[in-house]
Amino acid sequence: MTALFCALLTTGVAAIFIIHGAGSEDSAVCRLELSRKALLRVKDDYLRGRFPHWYREKSTLGTLTPELVFGEVTIEEDEYRVPFVAKGPATTLARIGFVDCVSMDVEYIAGK
């Protein structure tokens, strides 16, 4: 009986390590080599007007097709951080797009 209990316990502990290890790999979806994909996601999202305040933004910029200049993409807390500047004839606006590593959803804040 003791041998059976020890075998079950060992199997259970091994299963926990396997599951935990697989979960850790799966949660490490943010990879530096996918930074370009995150940048393109922000570019597409922003230029197609999915940015929440796009209508106000386009009138501030003075154009529907601003020039976008991107900074270095970094990874922080399961998100790609994509800094960029939108340049229009009226003004230039700094923004940061945060791209969720799993869902690829984008959220924005004003940049510096």
Output phi, psi for 108, to 5 deg.
Answer: -125, 150
pLDDT for 1 equals 58
pLDDT for 18 equals 35
Q: What is the mean pLDDT of residues 58-78?
A: 94
Summarised one tens digit per residue, pLDDT across range 2-61 is: 554 445 445 444 443 333 344 444 445 788 888 999 999 999 999 887 766 788 889 999
Count of other CB atoms within 10 angstroms of residue 106: 21
- Residue 11, helix vs strand vs coil: helix
**27-55 burial, b for 16+ CB within 10 Å, e for fewer?**
eeebeeebbeebbebbeebbeeeebeebe
pLDDT band at 83 (very low <50, low <70, confident <90, very high): very high
Summarised one tens digit per residue, pLDDT across range 85-99 is: 999 999 999 999 999
Cα separation, 6 vs 48, in Å, equals: 59
